[in-house]
Amino acid sequence: MTDYTSAEMMTVTAARALENGMTCFVGIGLPSEAANLARLTHAPDVVLIYESGTLQTKPEVLPLSIGDGELCESALTTVAVPEMFRYWLQGGKVNVGFLGTAQIDRFANLNTTLIGDYQSPKVRLPGGGGAPEIATNAGEVFITLKHSKRAFVKDVDFVTTLGFGRDGKGRDGVPNIGKGPTRVITDLCVMKPDPATKELTVVSLHPGVTRDDVIQATGWEIRFAETLESTPVPEANELEILRELKARTDRKHAGA
């Protein structure tokens, strides 16, 4: 199948990043879509955890909020929110945190707090939520968001959530901390942090996307890996399952 949108390409690629059997702490929105697609395709035993306390949940439709009833009803068990963050996340039971963001910089720091100055913000964003501790207490972090110059900035206005810090060394020497962001999946490409500098580097371009497309959509001089791969296209069954999932979700949230 060749007929797919760039948004579908992003979701399918993000879903493929999850391996069967992984324990994944899922953010709402794009990460949730990707994580559930993974569960419905190649990773039936992926364990999805949402910060509302729902452990090993298998929602039939994508939740609009992090605490939709659907998440609880389809979970193995539901625990209190302090237990969720203390025992399960901080206790080291989560392999991967899957996050979205409003702004990301070259060292994969995330900003979901505000644009502008803290005391007189130009745009006030929702804030940190679970992300600051998911990003440091999960084994590693996947990030997915749409590629744009507004989102991909050289330096975020505010570090809500640690990637690798303002100098790329934010995790150095810190005990009991996860590996941090290991990949960023957008609608144009896949990026990984450079092993030495931690600066995000494009490792794979989606089919039909040029280097220039990525350069134009990134707010810093983006680097490309020496051997640049081409991201595999979505399979027919992945697209079919994703579209069914989204259609079911739309019907449910329209109140039908």
Which residue's CB is nearer to another protein, number 195 or number 255?
A: 255
- Kindly tell me which of 137 and 201 has the beta carbon lying closer to another protein: 137
The answer to whether 51 is a known catalytic residue is yes
Which of 27, 151, 161 minimizes the C-alpha distance to 99? Answer: 27
Report residue 25 CA to chain centroid gap: 10
The distance of Cα 120 from the centroid of its chain, to the nearest Å, equals: 29
Interface of this chain with another protein, residues 28 to 47, rule: CB under 8 A: 28-29
Report which residue type is found at 134. I
By CB under 8 A, name the one of 155, 165, 223, 233 that touches another protein.
Answer: 165
**Nearer of residues 20 and 118 to another protein, judged by Cβ:** 118
Q: How many residues bind another protein (CB under 8 A)?
A: 59
What string of H, E and C letters represents the secondary structure of 93-155?
CCCEEEECCCEECCCCCEECCEEECCCCEEEECCCCCCHHHHHHHCCEEEEECCCCCCCEECC
Kindly state whether residue 144 participates in binding another protein, applying the rule CB under 8 A: no
Evaluated on CA atoms 23, 182, 169, 126, the torsion sign reads negative
Rg (the chain; Cα; Å): 18
Q: Interface with another protein by CB under 8 A: which range of 14-22, 35-43, 78-86, 235-243?
A: 78-86
* Residue choice 14, 30, 153, 162 for contact with another protein (CB under 8 A): 162
Span from 9-17, 131-139, 141-149, 215-223 in contact with another protein (CB under 8 A):
131-139
Q: Determine contact, residues 203/191, Cβ cutoff 8 Å.
A: yes
Which residue of 20, 124, 211, 236 would you call a contact of another protein, by CB under 8 A? 124
Q: Which residue is it, tokens 């975020």?
A: 156
**52/67 Cα distance (integer angstroms):** 5
Q: Which of 133, 187, 199, 238 binds another protein (CB under 8 A)?
A: 133
Contact window for another protein (CB under 8 A) among 33-41, 161-169, 188-196, 208-216 = 161-169
Determine which residue in the list 31, 59, 100, 170 makes contact with another protein, applying CB under 8 A.
170
* Sequence-ordered list of residues with C-beta below 8 angstroms from that of 29, at least 6 positions apart, any chain: 100
Site string for another protein, 49-68 (x = CB under 8 A): --xxxx--------xxxxxx
| Binding of residue 127 to another protein (CB under 8 A) | yes
Unique residue bearing structure tokens 């900035």: 153
Site of tokens 């909020």:
65
How far apart are CB 48 and another protein at their closest, in Å?
15
Where in the sequence numbering do the catalytic residues fall?
A: 51
- Give me the residues that bind another protein (CB under 8 A), please: 28-29, 51-54, 63-69, 71-72, 78-82, 84-86, 89-90, 109, 113, 118, 120-121, 123-133, 136-137, 158-162, 165, 170-171, 174-177, 252-255
